[in-house]
Amino acid sequence: DPIIRVTSLHKRYRTDRLETTALEGVSFEIQRGEFVAVMGPSGCGKSTLLNVLGLLDRADGGSYQLEGNETVGGSEDHRTGLRKKYIGFIFQSFNLIDELTVRANVELGVYYHGIRGKEASRMADEALEKLGLSARGDHMPSQLSGGQQQRAAIARAIVNRPKLLLADEPTGNLDSRNREEVLEILSTLNAQGSTIVMVTHSDDDASRAGRIVRLRDGQLHASS
């Protein structure tokens, strides 16, 4: 079975009288262990798709099965449970909490699993070590470079060893050296078994993926 199976996914946004169709009948599968790039022009529905896959947003129609679990019609509790169990997120703007140390930010990823105290700190330090940030646990995010902040955000995303890693333009705010480093890390995580879905505008970034899914006007335009 695929880790992700979406069928005829539809999503509309309504604001007052204005209605925007963001996804219009999108269907595809992603197998366990794939590294998929999602590309397409601005406004074509990439972020919407990633938010639906991440169970942050809900489709209006169609089906989305994550590890065989139907999610579109499910309760919020069911969806939250699946999100915590299976999914880690990486964002363009890192989304670290400025008031918390780097270690405490990474521990947040552990708390979602109900783990606290020494065990949480141990897991956070292990993730930070993996990302080359062992010396930075007690720093505040503002004391880190952009590349280091994104690595801290990746540590937070992977500390629970999620099966599915969703990344929305993870290199969008990085210079070329840090961009390379983050792509290298994603490739390594993929080689270690994580399934990765990454939204990107960059052909260079997408060339790291095993497959490219292209959207246009909310529809699947190509998949190769």
Contact positions toward ligand ADP, by CB under 6 A?
13, 15, 20, 22, 40, 42-48
Q: How far is CA 20 from CA 6, 44, 50, 122, in A?
A: 20, 11, 17, 46
Min dist. Cβ of residue 45 to ligand ADP (A): 4
Angle at 192 between CA 212 and CA 168, to 5 degrees: 40
Q: What are the beta bridge partners of residue 4?
A: 30, 66
Min dist. Cβ of residue 157 to ligand ADP (A): 18
Instruction: Name the residue nearer to ligand ADP (CB basis): 163 or 221.
Output: 221
Rounded CA-CA distance 170/12 in Å is 25
Instruction: Name the residue nearer to ligand ADP (CB basis): 7 or 219.
Output: 219
Instruction: Name the residue nearer to ligand ADP (CB basis): 104 or 174.
Output: 174
Instruction: Name the residue nearer to ligand ADP (CB basis): 46 or 208.
Output: 46
Nearest to 193 by CA among 34, 69, 83, 65: 34
Angle at 14 between CA 9 and CA 19, to 5 degrees: 80
Min dist. Cβ of residue 11 to ligand ADP (A): 8
Min dist. Cβ of residue 63 to ligand ADP (A): 19
